[in-house]
């Protein structure tokens, strides 16, 4: 079925059965005395395009007729290509992603006044207190609602009321902002399936309409999430040749000529001898560390590394230590202590030491201090593992990741890992390293032995997008567009007065909101203006730094970024979110001819006084392009 046709069918079934993969139930089955709470579909969308769905009776036993199928197909074909990949407004809206020399600029976390910190704590305290009060009385007056959290018929409760307290009493208040169902291609625009709740976000039912919104939520860095074009054509041809599934693991019958070709292309792309691909990015990390490390080994991990790294490290049986985020001084102290003390109890020398770091941190928007890591690697002789899940394709003048960005030879890094979901429009992951390491992993990695081989259409999507990046001018334009969009939006948000984390060239742009109540409010207000965003709070982030995370894409253009800035300016005033002090920097352009590497200590410049940035929106839009193309102080 085509995307719109599928939506017609599903929406009708939702109305008939009130069920969505056993996760949603019909609101009419709930207590009719409950006050009706409406989801985002009840908002008055000023910028979003609401698409009504025709609800003719379609059942599994009565599929669409040929005429209906043709009608839907034509409507899909008539949809503008710009909804998936926007046209560039000017050739000046491009920027080469490359470090300009010198040490990596330290990321300074701007801090708000104590008033905002105190009120954030108070907000959590109020929510927690009221939650416990509701549980206290609920267990006594409505025990049926808590029966699944207690021992029953001799069976222990799988989840106690304490274990899931946060999800029931805090997250549930904003559940309409998570897991919003979509349909179609998550490109420049994304289409949401509108839903409504009658029982305070406990269950949802669908309204039968769709809402098209600007997509700032998907990891579509290079804009390859497209249903037409060279990649889609190659994938369609591959399906007719190879089918849909490999139907086997890699060690059995799942190693096709297409898989071998993809691995060779990836190895050449990242500058390594060999590579191996996986069908899932998360399992790439989770299953590779046990094959690399074991008892008697030491894994040193950045404190903000992804959960897949943490899980894989635990499965390996190695001793795990962590260092402060991107702090090379703390890492060196840790290395000196662990090398001198050796293994616990026995104090024998470590069999191996592996330092693990992400190239681009997905929740912080910060880049790894790769030059600092290389310096320590040469001094202390440890192995270096870089997770390029978010940096491959998004960083570097050739899109080849963090090594390309810093002009460092990939041979300086022992193991390069990456995912194929974000920048390549596919799914899965890869490990690239020397031939000896890859050959060992092919034998010891559990995902290679027991996991499904990547599907042929996915492999072709990877191969086709790699060829686009390396061999076409359109691929080069994608690399430069995402960097310009990232710098332009980040600069604009900083000048408006928001606290923004991360480095200038990062396509991940976190804006700190602090108060838990402002998380859903920001998401809903953006949706009113036709923009989809991702919000994140505790436990995904530290308690105090709840945030909205903008994910920029090459599919966006300047007009899209202007639209986001206008919406943020309005919502920032509405929710009182503009509390930056300006200490984070990256706001003012450097004088002509002066490079950031030439400034030894910018804080010693007595003539420059740091003031809270509160630019007018008109000034932000007027000066944004020319300043985003320059080095920033």
Residue 50 DSSP SS3:
strand
User: Catalytic: which of 390, 518, 528, 556?
Assistant: 390
Based on the residue annotation, tell me whether 381 is a catalytic residue of this protein: no
Based on the residue annotation, tell me whether 440 is a catalytic residue of this protein: no
Contact 402, 389 (CB under 8 A): no
**Chain centroid offset of residue 494 CA:** 21
How many whole angstroms separate alpha carbon 400 and alpha carbon 593?
A: 28
> Closest by alpha carbon to 503, among 302, 324, 365, 326?
365
Contact 171, 128 (CB under 8 A): no
User: Catalytic: which of 107, 272, 422, 528?
Assistant: 422
Which spans in 510-616 are helix H? 518-528, 558-575
How many whole angstroms separate alpha carbon 97 and alpha carbon 482?
A: 9
Residue 152 φ/ψ, nearest 5 degrees: -145, 130
Q: How far is CA 488 from CA 10, 222, 227, 549, 629, in A?
A: 39, 16, 28, 16, 8
Q: Is 278 left (phi over 0), alpha (psi -120 to 50) or beta?
A: beta
How many whole angstroms separate alpha carbon 291 and alpha carbon 437?
A: 10
Tokens of 208: 């039968």
Count CA atoms within 13 Å of residue 451 on its CB side. 23
Based on the residue annotation, tell me whether 422 is a catalytic residue of this protein: yes
How many whole angstroms separate alpha carbon 534 and alpha carbon 184?
A: 18
**Chain centroid offset of residue 9 CA:** 30
Count of beta carbons in the 10 Å neighbourhood of residue 290 = 18
User: Catalytic: which of 11, 41, 362, 532?
Assistant: 362
Cα dihedral 155, 159, 161, 167 in deg (nearest 10): -160
**Chain centroid offset of residue 16 CA:** 35
Radius of gyration of the chain (CA): 26
Contact 486, 341 (CB under 8 A): no
How many whole angstroms separate alpha carbon 223 and alpha carbon 573?
A: 31
Q: Is 70 exposed, middle or buried (0-12, 13-18, 19+ CB in 10 A)?
A: exposed
Which spans in 429-557 are helix H? 435-444, 446-450, 456-471, 473-496, 518-528
Tokens of 130: 């009221």
Count CA atoms within 13 Å of residue 185 on its CB side. 24
Cα dihedral 327, 505, 109, 581 in deg (nearest 10): 150
The set of catalytic residues is: 362, 390, 422
């Amino acid at each position: 079925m085509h995307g719109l046709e599928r939506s017609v069918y599903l929406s009708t079934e939702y109305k008939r059965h009130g069920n969505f993969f056993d996760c949603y139930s019909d609101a009419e089955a709930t207590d009719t005395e409950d006050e009706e709470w409406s989801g985002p579909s009840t908002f008055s969308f000023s910028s979003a395009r609401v698409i009504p769905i025709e609800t003719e009776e379609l059942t599994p036993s009565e599929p669409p007729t040929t005429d209906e199928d043709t009608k839907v197909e034509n409507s899909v074909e008539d949809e503008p290509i710009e909804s998936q990949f926007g046209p560039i407004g000017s050739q000046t809206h491009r920027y080469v992603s490359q470090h300009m020399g010198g040490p990596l600029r330290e990321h300074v976390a701007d801090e708000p006044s104590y008033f905002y910190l105190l009120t954030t704590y108070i907000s959590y305290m109020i929510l927690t207190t009221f939650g416990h009060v509701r549980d206290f009385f609920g267990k006594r007056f409505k025990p049926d609602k808590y029966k699944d959290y207690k021992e029953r018929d001799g069976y222990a409760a799988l989840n106690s009321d304490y274990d899931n307290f946060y999800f029931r009493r805090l997250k549930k208040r904003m559940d309409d902002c998570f897991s919003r169902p979509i349909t179609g291609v998550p490109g420049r625009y994304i289409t949401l399936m509108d839903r409504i709740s009658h029982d305070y976000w406990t269950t949802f039912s669908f309204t039968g309409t769709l809402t098209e919104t600007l997509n700032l939520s998907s990891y579509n860095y290079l804009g390859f999430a497209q249903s037409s074009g060279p990649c889609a054509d190659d994938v369609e041809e591959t399906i007719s040749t190879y089918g849909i599934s490999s139907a086997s693991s890699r060690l059995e019958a799942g190693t096709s000529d297409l898989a071998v070709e993809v691995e060779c292309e990836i190895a050449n792309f990242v500058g390594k001898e060999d590579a191996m691909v996986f069908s899932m990015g998360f399992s790439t990390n989770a299953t590779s560390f046990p094959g690399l490390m074991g008892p008697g080994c030491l894994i040193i991990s950045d404190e903000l590394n992804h959960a897949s790294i943490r899980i894989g490290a635990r499965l390996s049986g190695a001793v795990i230590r962590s260092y402060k985020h991107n702090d090379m001084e703390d890492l060196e102290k840790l290395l000196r202590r662990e090398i001198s003390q050796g293994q616990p109890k026995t104090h024998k020398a470590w069999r191996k030491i592996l330092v693990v770091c992400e190239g681009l941190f997905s929740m912080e928007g910060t880049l790894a201090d790769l030059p600092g890591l290389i310096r320590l690697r040469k001094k202390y002789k440890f192995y270096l593992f870089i997770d390029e899940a978010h940096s491959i394709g998004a960083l570097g003048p050739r899109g080849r990741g963090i090594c390309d960005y810093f002009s460092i030879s990939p041979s300086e890094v022992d193991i390069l890992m990456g995912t194929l979901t974000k920048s390549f429009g596919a799914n899965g992951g890869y490990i690239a390293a020397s031939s000896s390491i890859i050959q060992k992993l092919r034998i010891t990695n559990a995902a290679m032995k027991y996991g499904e081989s990547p599907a042929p259409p996915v492999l072709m999507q990877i191969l086709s997008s790699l060829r686009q990046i390396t061999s076409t001018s359109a691929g080069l334009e994608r690399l430069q567009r995402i960097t310009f969009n990232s710098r332009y939006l980040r600069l604009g948000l900083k000048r408006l007065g928001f606290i923004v984390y991360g480095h200038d060239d990062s396509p991940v742009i976190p804006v700190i909101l602090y108060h838990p109540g402002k998380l859903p409010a920001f998401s809903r207000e953006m949706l009113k203006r036709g923009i989809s965003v991702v919000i994140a709070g505790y436990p995904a982030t530290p308690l105090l730094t709840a945030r909205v995370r903008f994910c920029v894409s090459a599919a966006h253009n300047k007009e899209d970024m202007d639209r986001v800035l206008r919406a943020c300016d309005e919502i920032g005033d509405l929710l009182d979110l503009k509390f930056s002090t300006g200490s984070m920097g990256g706001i003012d352009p450097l004088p002509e001819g002066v490079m950031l590497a030439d400034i030894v200590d910018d804080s010693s410049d007595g003539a420059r006084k740091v003031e809270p940035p509160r630019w007018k929106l008109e000034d932000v839009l007027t000066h944004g392009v020319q300043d985003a193309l320059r080095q920033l102080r």
